[in-house]
């Protein structure tokens, strides 16, 4: 039986791609689509908006109007909207898949605290390939240990508003956790001027923004005489959308708790 899915931010670039990915899935069906109340797309047919032809799902202005007819909500919007949608999902006992990035520390804490009331899946990146990379990074860091310097590079399109990317931070956290380090204490976000010699426990981040880059990430483990790189390059956002739909189908019927994409893929 297919999971019934609602997409918030349905008129956005990612929202439209999610609608397309759901139409291609044999595990999920789109039953609701939501936009913010001021959107000119309210009342539009979601399938038509995504370029698929009419599917009969009309975009509404309030998630609470459609929650009775869904199993899982996919939310790729903005931190404030995601938090409000999480409250609604908890009230209606619906699963929530979150792809929003740019949360402040307090917002992250508020969202994660809701796991006692709803099934909550949060991932910095829903690509299957990225999540395999995260597993590989954990293993590599554990094997290589403190003898290797770690630097993370990421590049995205000119419209991305947060930096470093959530995926880059997740990669940093995967490495830091395996090395027994606190990423907040050892992360260095860019360098300029007379920075002095590199602190051995540092995990550096370099950010590039420009053009239409979907998402490039590389983690370098560097020691005297050799360098190991684990990289992922996305050429289409459909990789993220398909992963999120896969997660949404898996989350339907899950008990309240905190999950990530590696739970969905059986990598934990």
For the annotated catalytic residues, the residue numbers are: 156, 160
C-beta separation of 138 from 177 below 8 A: yes
Q: How far apart are CA 28 and CA 91, in angstroms?
A: 23
Q: How far apart are CA 180 and CA 200, in angstroms?
A: 13
Query: If we measure between CA atoms, which residue out of 167, 147, 158 comes closest to residue 217?
Result: 167
Alpha helices in 145-234 (DSSP H): 166-179, 183-186
Query: If we measure between CA atoms, which residue out of 187, 183, 172, 165 comes closest to residue 134?
Result: 172
C-beta separation of 205 from 217 below 8 A: no
Query: If we measure between CA atoms, which residue out of 117, 116, 86 comes closest to residue 100?
Result: 86
Q: How far apart are CA 102 and CA 107, in angstroms?
A: 9
């Amino acid at each position: 039986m297919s999971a019934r899915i609602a997409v918030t931010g349905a008129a956005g670039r990612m929202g439209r791609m999610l609608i397309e990915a759901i139409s291609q899935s044999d595990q999920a069906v789109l039953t609701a689509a939501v936009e913010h109340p001021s959107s000119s797309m309210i009342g539009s047919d979601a399938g038509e908006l995504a370029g698929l032809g009419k599917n009969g799902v009309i975009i509404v202005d309030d998630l609470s109007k459609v929650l009775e007819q869904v199993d899982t909500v996919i939310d790729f919007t903005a931190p404030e909207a995601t938090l409000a949608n999480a409250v609604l999902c908890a009230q209606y006992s619906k699963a929530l898949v979150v792809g929003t990035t740019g949360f402040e520390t307090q917002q992250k804490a508020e969202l994660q605290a809701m796991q006692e009331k709803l099934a909550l899946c949060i991932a910095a990146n829903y690509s299957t390939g990225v999540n395999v990379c995260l597993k590989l990074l954990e293993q590599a860091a554990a094997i290589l240990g403190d003898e290797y310097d770690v630097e993370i590079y990421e590049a995205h399109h000119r419209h991305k508003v947060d930096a470093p990317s959530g995926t880059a931070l997740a990669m940093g956290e995967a490495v830091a956790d395996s090395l027994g380090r606190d990423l907040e204490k050892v992360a260095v976000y860019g360098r300029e001027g007379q920075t002095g010699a590199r602190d051995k426990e540092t995990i550096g981040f370099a950010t590039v923004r420009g053009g239409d880059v979907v998402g490039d990430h590389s983690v370098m483990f560097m020691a005297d005489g050799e360098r190991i790189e684990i990289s992922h390059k996305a050429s289409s956002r459909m990789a993220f959308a398909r992963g999120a739909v896969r997660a949404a189908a898996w989350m339907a019927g899950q008990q309240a708790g905190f999950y990530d994409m590696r739970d969905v893929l059986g990598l934990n």
